Amino acid sequence: MTPICLVGIGKIATDQHVPAINASPDWDLAATVSRTGTIDGVQAFTDFDQMLAETDIPVISLCLPPVPRYAYAAKAIAAGRHVMLEKPPGATLAEVHALADMARAAGVTLFTTWHSRMAPGVAPAKAWLADKQVTGVQITWKEDVRRWHPGQDWVFAPAGMGVFDPGINALSIITEILPMPIHLQAAELLFPSNCDTPIAAQMRWTENVIAEFDWRQEGPQSWDITVQTDAGGISLHDGGSRLVIDGAPQDVGPEREYPALYDRMADLVKDGVSDVDIGPMIHVADAMALGQRVTGEAFYL
């Protein structure tokens, strides 16, 4: 088993990363770095530089918010460590390009993870769509920010991404399953008057692809993608965990998004290669650049 260090012990780390690592035959959770969080039985550091200096742990998984992630990743790469990045892989496109160049020069693995691509319905949806002519796509991604990010004000700060924090999961799926490229044509972004990032967005791409993102949905949450083709329709529900083809539910197997990410990281390190994909981030950047800004009432977590 390969030792790995998990940096940023927050909700996503404890809910997803720690169970995935602990259940894997490839990884040994050897250390954590966090100002406040710890994992029972695991060596805990509060300073990243100290961890790099005092251990030779070869792989670092970064679960920090996007803004500080570049500095941590750059230090890890400079120290010869392989790096796994939570989504989104950075605060800007340029810094992810820079990290890819650093990793290449250092001869280490860099993996920009997109966990929703590992949802069990995604691969079979991609296979089914591969030889189809897509005629339209509708994306509905609506959830309750207060349920999933309680007290995490950084999501509405600059580079926090706002509704694109969950919405980029939908973008990671469509950039994986669609058999043709698309680019954004129009967007409307709703910004609360006291926030620097949007709480809702409506978007339209080429190839008749439309999306509605909203972070204010209470009750049942909506993570749905419907694709019409010249040979029938297909839809993904619950973030890609359920697949329906022409009205018939498909057996796609168990949910194991984060375990699959760590399986992939083990293969990448073994093969000495990187996997850096910024496709979903490009659509977010385009929405921010092209979108019409609408200001709404203040919103508080």
**Which residue numbers are catalytic?**
87
The bridge status of strand 27-33 relative to strand 2-7 is parallel
Separation of alpha carbons 116 and 114, rounded Å: 6
Cα 28 to chain centroid distance, Å, stands at 23
Helix/strand/coil for 3 = strand
Calculated CA dihedral for residues 84, 86, 91, 94, nearest 10 degrees? 40
What are the b/e assignments for 26-53, b being 16+ CB within 10 Å?
bbebbbbbbeebebeebbebeebeebbe
Which tokens hold the place of 141? 């991604």
Are 73 and 62 in contact by the 8 Å Cβ rule? The answer is yes
What are the b/e assignments for 168-206, b being 16+ CB within 10 Å?
bbbbbbbbbbbeeebebeebbbbbbeebebbbbbbbebe
